[in-house]
Amino acid sequence: MGHIKVGSYEPQHLSFSTVNSYRTCGKRFQLEKVFRLEQRPGLAALGGNAVHAASEVIDLLIFEQGFEALEESA
C-alpha cells in the first residue's frame, strides 16, 4: 500500500478509517483532514444532543435533591 499525501499533508499513521475516507472521497478527505473544516451536525445529531442535555439536567436534579424533586416538578 502506498502513502497518502494531499498537498503538504501526510498523516502520521494510517488507520482503516483514514484510508477508507481517502478512497471513498478524496475531496472530502482533503476538506476534513487537510483544511480541518468541520461539518455542521445533522438534524438527528442535534436532536440527540438535546435529549442528552435534558437527561443530564434530570440526573443532576435527582443527584442533588433525590427522586422527590421529580414529583414536585411534575
User: pLDDT tens across 29-67, in order?
Assistant: 888 888 888 888 889 999 999 999 999 999 999 999 988
In angstroms, rounded to a whole number, what is the distance separating the alpha carbons of residues 24 and 41? 20
Domain limits, the chain: 1-39, 43-73
pLDDT of residue 34: 81
- Residue 1: pLDDT over 60: no
In angstroms, rounded to a whole number, what is the distance separating the alpha carbons of residues 4 and 19? 8
pLDDT of residue 22: 84
